[in-house]
């Protein structure tokens, strides 16, 4: 496919419902573009993968399923804190033969055209990304504040530069050596090693916070105009944090967009997490019984 937009998602089978909502929103709002979409995962059953194909079929879109073998992770640090999924986006230069790709987390909704984002001049940078206004661990990670810190959930990646500088191996080594102080392993490592060699994108391309009535004064790293545009017309909404739009009590102002696009997928009849039968049953089990079961499982491991 000539002149197509290359997208990469990294996910596991438990997140396919959310991936389908993200994929549908991307394709529905960018019908003028052609896509080649890579899905990096550790194994998706044919039945579940068919749901992804159903979403993509009506559009000018080619899917590539990249399954990562567990053998790949034998020499990497995997603890009970961090699973193998943290490495997936770091493997892009090794797995995908493209000059640049747009990496997207699965817990997002695309609310407009990504053409301007994808056409950014990235030649001199490792990535284009949006600054994270909440970050305050500069000294802990030995990052100069002037370099700032970006969220890695949406990245336009210069794959060629990653390959030529060996960034992938450096990041993995950094995670292995510093995993005890990292909050977001791959994201922390990427920021620590790029030394500010990343291009800042407008907030509308990765809106991670809820902009309430005082938003113009809460985030000084963004201009008032940038904040206003992100609030009125966000292009990519990223549902970060523990509370997600598929949860009943979630109050995200753009929660409705998740359900809007999910309704256009094979998961249209899915229930909020708390209303799913298995979770209702779990909620009926007394806490003391849950603790006892946990002790038995731990003892037998």
Residue 279 predicted with pLDDT over 70: no
Structure tokens given for 26? 């991307």
**Predicted confidence band at 145 (pLDDT cuts at 50, 70, 90)?**
very high
Query: Which ranges of 134-200 would DSSP assign to H, the alpha helix?
Result: 138-141, 159-165, 167-178, 185-194
Contacts within 8 Å (CB) and 24+ apart, 173-179: 175/77, 175/82, 175/86, 175/87, 176/76, 176/77, 179/77, 179/79, 179/81, 179/82
The predicted pLDDT at position 80 comes to 44
**In a 3-state reduction of DSSP, which class is residue 131?**
strand
Taking the C-alpha atoms of residue 21 and residue 132, their distance in angstroms, rounded to an integer, is 24
Query: For residue 36, what pLDDT band results from cuts at 50, 70 and 90?
Result: very high
- Helix 46-56 with 16-28: angle, nearest 10 deg: 10
pLDDT of residue 218: 80
Q: What would the pLDDT profile of 99-132 be if each residue is shown by its tens digit?
A: 999 999 999 999 999 999 999 999 999 999 999 9
CA distance 281 to 30: 41
Q: Does pLDDT of 62 surpass 70?
A: yes
Whether residue 47 has pLDDT greater than 50: yes
Q: Which of 66-80, 144-158, 211-225 has the lowest mean pLDDT?
A: 66-80
**How much is the mean pLDDT over the chain?**
87
What are 202-225's pLDDT values in tens digits? 999 999 988 877 777 788 889 999
Q: pLDDT tier at 135 (50, 70, 90 boundaries)?
A: very high
Q: d(Cα 9, Cα 154) in Å, to the nearest integer?
A: 10
pLDDT bin (cut points 50, 70, 90) of residue 296 is low
pLDDT given at position 300 = 47
Percentage with pLDDT > 70 across the chain: 85
Which range (12-26, 176-190, 194-208, 232-246) has the least confidence?
A: 176-190
For the record, the structure tokens of 24 come out as: 């549908």
pLDDT category of residue 74 using cuts at 50, 70 and 90: low
**d(Cα 281, Cα 267) in Å, to the nearest integer?**
22
Per DSSP, the residues of 196-247 read: T-EEEPPGGGSB-S---TTHHHH-TTS-HHHHHHHHHS-SEEE--SS--TTS
| Residue where the block lists tokens 């909050």 | 183
- Global pTM value: 0.89
Cα 187 to Cα 156: distance, rounded to the nearest angstrom: 14
């Amino acid at each position: 496919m000539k002149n197509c937009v290359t997208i990469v998602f990294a996910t596991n089978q438990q997140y396919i419902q959310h991936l389908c909502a993200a994929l549908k929103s991307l394709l529905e709002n960018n019908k003028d573009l052609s896509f080649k979409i890579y899905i990096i995962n550790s194994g998706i059953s044919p039945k579940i993968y068919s749901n992804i194909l159903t979403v993509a079929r009506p559009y000018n879109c080619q899917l590539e399923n990249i399954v990562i073998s567990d053998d790949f992770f034998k020499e990497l640090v995997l603890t009970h804190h961090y699973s193998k999924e943290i490495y997936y986006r770091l493997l892009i230069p090794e797995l995908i033969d493209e000059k640049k790709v747009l990496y997207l987390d699965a817990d997002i909704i695309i609310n407009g055209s990504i053409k301007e984002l994808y056409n950014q001049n990235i030649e001199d940078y490792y990535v284009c990304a949006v600054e994270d206004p909440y970050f305050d661990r500069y000294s802990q990670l030995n990052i100069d504040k002037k370099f700032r810190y970006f969220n890695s959930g949406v990245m336009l990646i210069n794959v060629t530069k990653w390959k030529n500088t060996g960034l992938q191996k450096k990041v993995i080594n950094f995670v292995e050596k510093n995993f005890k102080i990292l909050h977001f392993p791959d994201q922390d490592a990427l920021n620590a090693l790029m030394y500010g060699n990343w291009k800042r994108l407008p907030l509308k391309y990765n809106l991670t916070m809820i902009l309430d009535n005082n938003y113009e004064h809460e985030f000084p790293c963004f201009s008032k105009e940038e904040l206003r545009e992100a609030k009125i017309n966000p292009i990519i909404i990223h549902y970060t944090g523990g509370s997600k739009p598929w949860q009943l009590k979630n109050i995200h102002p753009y929660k409705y967009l998740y359900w809007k696009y999910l309704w256009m997928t094979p998961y249209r009849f899915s229930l909020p997490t708390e209303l799913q039968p298995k979770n209702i049953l779990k909620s009926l089990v007394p806490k003391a019984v849950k603790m006892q079961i946990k002790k038995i499982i731990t003892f037998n491991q």
